[in-house]
Structure 1
């Protein structure tokens, strides 16, 4: 832009001098005019990086150009307009930019006032062809004032408008970036939560069945020479448990890989049902855990009522994890699983007569099982109690608020 204004200044000065139509009636040499015209426009090359310096330099040179009365006054006026505009559009310190522009405008009007005073003090020039109702001198003064007011106000206004527009654009870009980062954080959190859920499911499925197979295989190894029938029974249990584990893993992986045809609650419930054991599967779970060295009993108290699939799955997994811990760590001889249907909640309790979590010689687990229990209970707003019993052994009790399942498609469950 600075180069274009410089070319315009040179062209205009050459043309004006060639026509003899000089802005002030007389002018210095053509070389001096070209030098001043280039000087007043060159600072525009750095108007964005140094807007304040450009404004002050162009303002000073503008007065010099007018004092020397070069032949063209149009291009220097364009340079001054761009300098004022650039200070408003690019000045970083808004207070300095505002007062610098106001100061330059005041100086320019003072310079204009000197010109008007000089016009009034000298004999009135001739105005050939004047035919309007106003005095020619008064009309010239009013024209200059009106033109300069519009000129400087436009430079100030458009510079301020450009800065406001750039600020809004920057704010929009900043908010868009913040929104993008927020979406990335939400996505990352959802991925982490899903990974934890999958890890919990795999832990619950694999750890229990592998523990049962290990115990039964160990029992079969110890009695294979003395009691082949008992060893055969233990091996049958290992085989059945392995098949059950493979079936549950296939079902879980099938749910993870499948894409349901729709997002309706019916499709989600139907697809998850095939891989989600429930309360009806608790007797089989207890039966698989029972062995020659561990007697496990199961009992139901209260009148059964329907519970949501999520609660049923959580109860099953809690019982599964508790029995796994008993088999792996407790060295217990008996365990008791009780499912209670209360008026306000459904409760499951697992107790054993083992050594407890900190008994002598008890192996230390990873702690993921208890964490998974707490997460499952917390999802449904329930309560979990774990700890040693006064009479010995360990107790796990989980309570879930009773919910009233709603028909499919009518909304979420309500407490």
Structure 2
């Protein structure tokens, strides 16, 4: 929620339950005020020497108190009616002053807490408070003009009695009206903050739902990548061996038998890999670990390539270090994808794999002597995308492209470099 949205926010109206409570409170306050008026007139404790007749007294009491039944539904109208009725009761010397004054403060508070148009609510409150101080000034002026020493015959303080009355009246009313204004504003601010927290909670729930959907999508992509890496490699080898066996079936049954044996072995390996991944996917409550390859198993990949008819070489350079399992698996998958692409697309006869352990990084270099130009056009395939994601996940750098310069270039190279600083921390 932006600052402009907060500035334009309007507090929603009261609920039906709150409206019913307001009606009950208004009726109760009206009844208590009528009772207080009866007690004041019966005991003779009157603020004004002359009071109106009983029907008019009841009229002013009801006009001041009954609007409280709608103080949260229409706070502006209630505040204006109550303040006008209060001033009218003062002018007509209404005998009830105690609870009527409290009703006035409640109306000012309700306007501050529930006023929908903040600018208008502020101006109405300021206007009402200003009118009340004008009324106080008028009453003090009348006291100055008409007062007599007999009214202060029991005064014993060190201040002049009239000055004490003026200061007391101003101080009490400043505090009372100030508290009514301040707490009304505080209640409105608290309601706005609660609304803001609800919006933030809703945004958080939406963000969590989006994160869950993204996690599901990433997991699906990971599964697709693993299926591609595992199955495509073995199926590619099976295809090459089956093709070779078909060609030599009649001429050289021994070679055909060896090719079919290789197909059988690749099929079993693929099925075992699929069964392992599916069993991991069926496990609930645990993270899925699809590990199945490592740097130590790269020679097995090249064995499959040799069975497919390729000449392979594997070289390891530098001082070997223990790699984290995730990094070792990523290197295995990169080499596996490169070997699979060579078998499927490159029409190559040799493939060279080199692993270099350098001072601050480990480098994987896979090169073949196939159709480098054709291979370079396969940058949009699922395999190279997965390969790049694996390398990026370990802060590595991936380079793919043909070997040599045109037009004599021949072969395709996949080179990946992984930093060893992060490896050392993880290890």
Same fold (TM over 0.5): yes
**How many angstroms does 1:61 deviate by?**
1.8
Residues 350/60 of structure 1: CA separation in 2 closer, same or farther (3 Å cut): same
Name the CA distance, whole Å, in 1 between partners of 2:83 and 2:220: 67
State the match for 1:336 in structure 2. Answer: 351
String of CA shifts for 1:225-266, please: whole Å, max 9, x gaps.
Answer: 4432222212211221122223333444455556899xxxxx
Task: Give yes or no for contact 1:337–1:348 (8 Å, CA) kept in 2.
Answer: no
Counterpart position of 1:56 = 80
User: How many residues were matched structurally?
Assistant: 396
Give distance in 1, aligned partners of 2:393 and 2:75. 60
- 1:155 deviates by 1.4
Given that 1:251 and 1:275 are in contact with CA atoms closer than 8 Å, whether structure 2 keeps it comes out as no
1:228 aligned to which of 233, 249, 253: 253
Offset of residue 152 of structure 1: 1.6
1:66 correspondence with 2:84: no
- 1:144 to 2:158 alignment: no
Q: CA RMSD in A?
A: 3.5
Evaluate the alpha carbon distance shift between residue 178 and residue 33 of structure 1 in structure 2; reply closer, same or farther with a 3 A threshold: same
1:311-366 residue CA offsets vs partner (Å, 9 max, x unmatched): 32222211211222223333x1413132132434333333334334648xx99796
State the Cα deviation string for residues 185-233 of structure 1 (Å, max 9, x = none): 4444444333333332222111111222233233333433443222221
Instruction: Determine whether 1:90 maps to 2:114.
Output: yes
Are residues 253 and 298 of structure 1, via their aligned partners in 2, closer, same or farther at CA, if it must alter by over 3 Å? farther
The counterpart of 2:384, out of the listed 360, 364, 370, is 370
Q: What displacement does 1:297 show?
A: 0.8
Within 5 Å, give how 1:15-414 maps onto structure 2. 15-17=39-41, 21-122=45-146, 124=148, 127=151, 130=154, 132-133=156-157, 140-255=165-280, 275-291=291-307, 294-308=309-323, 309-330=325-346, 332-344=347-359, 345-356=361-372, 358=374, 367-390=381-404, 391-403=409-421, 406=424, 412-413=426-427
Structure 2 SS opposite 1:339: strand
Q: Distance in 1 between matches of 2:291 and 2:161?
A: 99
Whether contact under 8 Å (1:338, 1:348) holds in the other structure is: yes
Alignment-derived partner of residue 265 in structure 1 = none
Q: How many angstroms apart in 1 are the aligned matches of 2:177 and 2:396?
A: 72
Structure 1 residue 52, shift from structure 2 partner? 3.3
Name the SS for the 1:290 alignment partner.
helix
**In the TM superposition, what is the alpha-carbon distance from 1:371 to its structure 2 partner?**
0.5
C-alpha separation in 2, matches of 1:83 and 1:404 = 67
| Whole-Å separation in 1 of the counterparts to 2:147 and 2:32 | 35
Report the Cα offset of residue 405 of structure 1: 5.4
Q: Is the contact made by 1:41 and 1:76 (CA closer than 8 Å) also made in structure 2? A: yes
Q: TM-score, normalised by structure 1?
A: 0.81
8 Å CA contact 2:320–2:357 kept in 1: the answer is no
CA contact (8 A) 1:10 1:34 kept: yes
Q: How far is 1:368 from its partner?
A: 1.0
* CA distance 1:143–1:341, change in 2 (3 Å): closer
Q: Is the 8 A contact 2:48 2:95 kept in 1?
A: yes
Q: Helix, strand or coil: the match of 1:220?
A: helix
Q: Which moved more, 1:228-237 or 1:52-61?
A: 52-61
Once residues 147 and 329 of structure 2 are traced to their aligned partners in structure 1, the CA distance between those partners, rounded to angstroms, is 106
